[in-house]
Structure 1
Amino acid sequence: MHDDPHIDNELDDMTARVRALETILVEKGLVDPAAVDAIIETYEHKVGPRNGAAIVARAWSEPDFADWLREDANEAIASMGFVGRQGEHMVARFNTPDEHNMVVCTLCSCYPWPVLGLPPTWYKTPAYRSRAVREPRAVLKEFGVTLPETTHINVWDSTAEIRYLVIPERPEGTQGMDAAALADLVTRDSMIGCGQPLRPETP
């Protein structure tokens, strides 16, 4: 048992390291805490998963845009104003009843920030980075995604040269929903391929 009140036992190792590094940099006057908060706020709430959800919703409702995404995701995504660092060299992969796509970065944690925001902690862990490649079906099951044995799983390795956005299958019962309502069904994990979109509420 640790009796030191300054130790936050609820922090995982990575978060604790980041917080310690930030504290040192702030104390040395090398980092402005307000600037750090502003960057985090931007990526969590302004260029976060809501951008990706808007792309998915448009792909679900506009076949021409979906075709554009398949052919040139960079241009299609840029047409919606979602560009920036870590968002270059984008490729969209579409889930179907026969194929399911999931994304991993086996070397580090390459991730499309402009469309998905900050990467989740689990995405950066060695366990996910190795197991997603070796046993993707088991990993998906742990995320609550159980696929038919007949569904082929593609695992795409994100790198600095290419980053992926998964376009999940459109849920049933969403006919007639507008783009904003559709976007509300899209989850961050579904755009990584480790989750499914939400189902519309039954009236």
Structure 2
Amino acid sequence: MPDKHEPHDDHHHDHHHDHHGHGSELSEMQLRVRALETVLTEKGYVDPASLDRIVEAYETRIGPHIGARVVARAWADPAFKQKLLEDASRAIETMGLKQKVGDHLVAVENTPTTHNMIVCTLCSCYPWDVLGLPPVWYKSTPYRSRSVKEPRTVLADFGVTLPADTTIRVWDSTAETRFIVLPMRPDGTDGWSEERLAALVTRDSMIGTGLAKTAAEANAGAGA
């Protein structure tokens, strides 16, 4: 990985931040967005129906389904995985996908000894093209600050508990460089098709705040 993309390792950060105010901040953010949408609509600058179509596209057609396809291809095809880790932007173009957001996409791989997380400490840069709309919490100040300072605690908040000897690397996105996490392939999925594998990939697993679904979870969902 090039030096300019050096991550933050968890053992460098041992400060703790209070959780208070998280909910109120998100509520204020949502109110501001709604107010702005109302003003723009009333002035005739935007069409609410068009906004709905854009949101629907990013939620259901663009991402995170595209990212899941990319991860599934990497799990199933070692050659593609190598290309993805070398240059993710070029690799996804071989799948007929072309990034429109950001200049460069970098894929970082989770392993049994290393877990990666994505954050944008200065704003909310995010790989929209492959992950769709960013979750509200990704933009919040608590996530942006605490992920760098206490990533293990943040992961625990998301229900992810890792072995104590697992290194956690936090990658700081920018407008020029954005990241996608390549989660570990779940056990018991040998011989699965790419379509079936993609169903295991969650948005949070590609941000690093979650893990891919297990084979058992997928089978349980299919039988529901």
Same fold (TM over 0.5): yes
Q: State yes or no: 1:89 paired with 2:114.
A: no
Distance in 1, Cα, partners of 2:85 & 2:43 = 48
Q: State yes or no: 1:178 paired with 2:193.
A: yes
Alignment of 1:151-166 (within 5 A): 151-166=166-181
Higher normalized contact order (CA 8 Å, seq sep 6+, divided by chain length): 2
2:6 paired residue number: none
Alignment of 1:8-157 (within 5 A): 12-157=27-172
Shift of 1:14: 1.5
Distance in 1, Cα, partners of 2:203 & 2:97 = 16
Aligned residue-pair number: 194
Distance in 1, Cα, partners of 2:96 & 2:72 = 15
Distance in 1, Cα, partners of 2:176 & 2:71 = 22
**Once superposed, what is the RMSD of the aligned Cα atoms?**
1.5
Distance in 1, Cα, partners of 2:130 & 2:124 = 15
Q: TM-score, normalised by structure 2?
A: 0.83
Shift of 1:184: 0.3
- 5+ residue gaps in structure 1? 1-8
- Is 1:87–1:113's contact at 8 Å kept on the other side of the alignment? no
Moved more, 93-102 or 38-47: 38-47
Shift of 1:41: 1.1
- Is 1:26–1:33's contact at 8 Å kept on the other side of the alignment? yes
Q: Give identity over the alignment, percent.
A: 59
Q: TM-score, normalised by structure 1?
A: 0.92
Shift of 1:72: 1.2
SS of structure 2 residue aligned to 1:146: coil
- 5+ residue gaps in structure 2? 1-23
1:197 paired residue number: 212
- Is 1:48–1:117's contact at 8 Å kept on the other side of the alignment? yes
- Is 2:89–2:99's contact at 8 Å kept on the other side of the alignment? no
